[in-house]
Amino acid sequence: MPPSYNDVTSWNPEVMTSIANGIARLQASLEVEASKAGDPVLNLTGAQWTGLARGPADDRAEGITRWIRGVSDEFGDTASVLTRGQNSIRGAMTALESRTSLADSDGYVLDRGSREYTVNFDPARAPEGAEYDAGRAYEHQAALVALGTAADDAVTATRDAINSALGELGGMTPASTAVNRGVVDASLAASDAAAVRAGTATPEQRGRFLRAMDLTPGQLEKLKAGQPSDLEPSRLQYVLGALGLSGMDPRSAAVTGALGALERRGSDIEDAYARQRRSVGQAGMSADDVARLNSVGKNVARSAFWAGIAYTLVDEGLKYSRDEQDGGDATAAIVGAVGGGYVGGALAGAAIGSFAGPVGTAVGAGIGAALGSHYGASFGKWVKGGFD
Amino acid sequence: MSLELTSYAGLDGTTSTFSQLAGQFAGASSDMSAVAASADDKIAASLANVSGTVSAFSEMVLAARDITVESDLANATRIEDAVSYPARDISQTDHVVPLSVQLSVQ
């Protein structure tokens, strides 16, 4: 049964236009940033990088730029699906409204709340001298039911189109392409960890630290048991370095014990964040703070998160919400997290309140986190510069 | 700074997210509640994956630079063998982004 006239006329498809505007911004951001992903490699002169690996690296750089443009097109698809949906739903609503007026002026008044689209004859509104005609009534009613059904179908079709566009977007941006290759410079581990703990880490340091330390529960289990793990050797060294255990045998009791203790601390934090009321009472946090903590707490739970990192991220977010830190720094901090490939969405979403915020920074973040430190300050400045 | 992204460029209400679709289509057979509940997450996940992919790319490529002759060939092979990026499965469509939007995100 179709929705009633009152239902249909209460719809607000214009929301989709405003979502489409946001999506178009994402599309534009990605389009603009696409070349920034590959160019740092492509722009190196032959003298700056010689060797066999240069050719494949250039190909890969072109590939990633082309791919980001493709992702941008997917966002474009989504935006146009939304715009088209708004058009077709609004059109169907208008058609029903004008047909209803037409029936009204003929004396056949639609019951606005009826899902059967009952029409009642009202001689007072009918043309001079007109009388009730069952055939005429049926004609009006059938036309109105059809238009009500068409409006309903327009919504369903739009819903399906949105789902399909989002599905394609998901297919275009699988998590697997974002999997860390695992190669990090292990010698930076100790300084990164110290900076993160002290809250002075640059976005590059934070991003590198988070990426390297984001072990899956399975990996952590293996490390704890002292078993050879699927970790890239350089990454294992980074993890050990960050824990102040560099140079030690990963199978030794000191290392496995330390890893076990860390995991324990991670789950303690998770527990603490899961208890809302107590958190409020004990730490004097506002409801917003708690909500933000909880969202991070979920990440803690999901990926066997690490204590220090959770504290750092949450602290940045809270400082931002208390105006103790200007937006630029907070955003840059979040950006580092986005570079890490997780949490960023949650925290950035919490801090900024919409996906329009973290969006323009997603690509820059990844580049900044990984490239900034290597290509010197200029690239890092570009990332930071975006928020100043 | 980025927090202003939502307000300039002459776009009204770009802060709207899919969650705002909830309740806008009362009475319809499919009232968009499922889309409203999940679409924002999908967008966020997609962006996070873009970001992570760029990181992965940079790391892989950077690790291959400034290395010894011995590992050069291995690195070249490793990059060549890396799984290629997904491609759009339909023909390229040209979605024109309004100039004002394009300029505002530069």
**B33: contact with A, CB 8 A cutoff:** no
Contacts of A159 in chain B (CB under 8 A): 30, 32, 34-35
- pLDDT value of position B51: 77
Whether residue A360 and residue B17 make contact (CB cut-off 8 A), yes or no, is no
- pLDDT value of position A366: 42
Nearest chain B residue to A33 by CA distance is: B106
- Angstrom CA distances, A19 to A14, A356, B36, B53, B60, stand at 9, 10, 11, 25, 36
- pLDDT value of position A332: 34
Phi and psi, residue A109, nearest 5°: -95, 125
User: Residue A145: enclosing H or E segment and its boundaries?
Assistant: helix A134-172
Rounded-to-10 torsion of CA B29, B34, B39, B40:
120
Compute the count of residue pairs across chains A and B with CB atoms less than 8 Å apart: 316
Give the pLDDT of chain A (388 residues) as one tens digit per residue: 899 999 999 999 999 988 888 888 888 888 888 888 888 788 888 887 888 888 888 998 899 899 999 998 999 999 999 999 999 999 999 999 999 999 999 999 999 999 999 999 999 999 988 889 999 999 999 999 999 999 999 999 999 999 999 999 988 887 767 655 555 666 777 787 777 777 677 766 776 777 677 666 666 777 777 775 556 666 777 777 777 777 777 777 777 777 776 666 555 555 555 544 443 333 444 455 445 444 444 443 333 333 333 333 333 333 333 333 333 333 333 333 333 333 333 333 222 223 333 333 444 444 433 333 333 222 222 222 222 2
- pLDDT value of position A357: 31
- A378 class by beta-carbon count within 10 Å (0-12 exposed, 13-18 middle, 19+ buried): exposed
Whether residue B76 and residue A59 make contact (CB cut-off 8 A), yes or no, is no
Nearest chain B residue to A359 by CA distance is: B47
**Helix segments in B1-106, DSSP class H:** 33-63, 69-81, 99-104
Contact A325, A316 (CB under 8 A): yes
Dihedral sign for Cα A159, A162, A167, A173, please.
Answer: negative
Q: A250: left (phi > 0), else alpha (psi -120 to 50), else beta? A: alpha
- pLDDT value of position A92: 96
Whether residue B27 and residue A342 make contact (CB cut-off 8 A), yes or no, is no
Whether residue A56 and residue B87 make contact (CB cut-off 8 A), yes or no, is no
Q: Which residue has the higher pLDDT, B105 or A29?
A: A29
ipTM of this predicted structure = 0.79
- pLDDT value of position A7: 95
Question: Chain B: nearest CA to A274, how far in angstroms?
Answer: 21
Among A53, A162, A173, whose Cβ lies nearest the Cβ of B50? A173
Q: Which residue has the tokens 């820059």?
A: A364
- pLDDT value of position A133: 92
- B88 class by beta-carbon count within 10 Å (0-12 exposed, 13-18 middle, 19+ buried): middle
Contacts of A163 in chain B (CB under 8 A): 35
Contacts of A295 in chain B (CB under 8 A): none
- Angstrom CA distances, A15 to A80, A91, A262, A267, stand at 14, 15, 46, 41
Contact A109, A50 (CB under 8 A): no
- pLDDT value of position A57: 87
Q: Which of A 318-347 lie inside 8 A of B, CB atoms?
A: 327-328, 331, 338-342, 344-345
Task: Read off the pTM.
Answer: 0.60
- The contacts of residue A282 (CB under 8 Å, 6+ apart) are none
Residues B18-74 pLDDT 10s: 888 888 999 999 888 888 888 888 888 888 778 778 877 876 776 676 666 667 777
Question: Chain A: nearest CA to B86, how far in angstroms?
Answer: 6
- Using DSSP bridges, classify how beta strands A108-110 and A119-121 pair: parallel, antiparallel or unpaired: antiparallel
Q: Which residue has the tokens 């939304």?
A: A82
Provide the token pair at B84.
């290629």
* Nearest C-alpha neighbor of A300 from the set A190, A192, A215: A215
- pLDDT value of position A155: 95
Beta bridge partners of A110: A119
Contact A379, A371 (CB under 8 A): yes
Whether residue A356 and residue B15 make contact (CB cut-off 8 A), yes or no, is yes
